[in-house]
A and B are shown apart, each in its own frame.
Chain A
Amino acid sequence: DAKTTQPPSMDCAEGRAANLPCNHSTISGNEYVYWYRQIHSQGPQYIIHGLKNNETNEMASLIITEDRKSSTLILPHATLRDTAVYYCIVRATYGNKLVFGAGTILRVKS
C-alpha cells in the first residue's frame, strides 16, 4: 500500500472549517484513501473513504485531487469534540489490513 504524509499537528477555531491535508504521491489506480480519527482514550473511528471522486457524508467531506496524489479531509464546522488524531490511509481494493501512520493532531480551540 502507498505511503501517506500528513502534518504532525494543526489548530482550528471552533465553528470554522478544518482542512486536513494528506499526500499520497505513490498511490496506484486500485487504492482507496481512507480517513479515521482517534479521540483520546478511544479506538479509531472510521470517517470516510474515496477512490477518485469527492465524497461527503454526515461527518466530513473528502476532496481528492485529479491526479490522486493528495487529498483533503474537510470538517465543515469544527467543534471542540473534533479534537483528535486524524489518520489518512491508503489501501488497495482487495487489501488485507490498514496501516496507520502517526496522523495529524487536530486541536479545535474556542
Chain B
Amino acid sequence: DTGVSQDPRHKITKRGQNVTFRCDPISEHNRLYWYRQTLGQGPEFLTYFQNEAQLEKSRLLSDRFSAERPKGSFSTLEIQRTEQGDSAMYLCASSLVLWGGVLTFGAGSRLTVL
C-alpha cells in the first residue's frame, strides 16, 4: 500500500471554472476526510465519510462544494464556479474507525484560482 494518494497535485484554473480533486485512501481504511489549508494556517475540516456515508460537513463547505465517496473507496471533491478565495491546499486523509484519531494524510492538491 502506497498510502493516501491525491490527484492532481497542482491545479491552476480561472475564476468561474469547475475543478475536481480525487483521493485514494489506504484500502482498509473506512473513514475518509477532506481538509483545506491556506498559507500560515492549520488544516480546516471540510467533511468526512464513513464508508460511503457522508457523516459531517463543515459550515465552510458552501453549496459550491460537493464531495462523494461512491462504494466507500476513493473520494472526489468538486468545487463549482471557483473563486479566488478557494485558492488553498486541499488535503485528504483516511483512518480506521477504531483508531479514528490516527489519520494518514496525503500530500495534498494545491489549487490556484486566477
B43–A49 CB distance below 8 A: no
A97–B42 CB distance below 8 A: no
- B101 interface residue (CB < 8 Å to A): yes
| Most chain B beta-carbon contacts within 10 A, residue among A34, A44, A101 | A44
- B33 interface residue (CB < 8 Å to A): yes
Residues of B within 8 Å of A103, CB to CB, are 42
The residue of chain A having its C-beta at the shortest distance from the C-beta of B45 within the complex is: A97
Residues of B within 8 Å of A42, CB to CB, are 107-108
The CA of A43 and the CA of B103, in the complex, are separated in Å by 11
The CA of A74 and the CA of B103, in the complex, are separated in Å by 21
Residues of A within 8 Å of B106, CB to CB, are 43
Distance (Å) between the CB of A100 and the closest chain B CB? Answer: 4
The CA of A100 and the CA of B93, in the complex, are separated in Å by 13
B100–A44 CB distance below 8 A: no
The residue of chain B having its C-beta at the shortest distance from the C-beta of A33 within the complex is: B101
A100–B43 CB distance below 8 A: yes
Residues on B lying within 8 angstroms of A by beta carbon are: 4, 33, 35, 41-45, 48, 55-56, 91, 93, 100-108
Of the listed stretches A12-20, A21-29, A62-70, A87-95, chain B binds: A87-95
Q: A91 and B107 in contact (CB under 8 A), knowing A96-B56, A99-B45, A102-B41?
A: no
Residues of B within 8 Å of A102, CB to CB, are 41-42
| Most chain B beta-carbon contacts within 10 A, residue among A36, A95, A101 | A36
Out of B45, B48, B105, which one reaches A44, CB within 8 Å?
B105
B100–A96 CB distance below 8 A: yes
The CA of A102 and the CA of B107, in the complex, are separated in Å by 19
The CA of A45 and the CA of B4, in the complex, are separated in Å by 12
The CA of A73 and the CA of B24, in the complex, are separated in Å by 31
Q: A98 and B101 in contact (CB under 8 A), knowing A42-B107, A43-B107?
A: yes
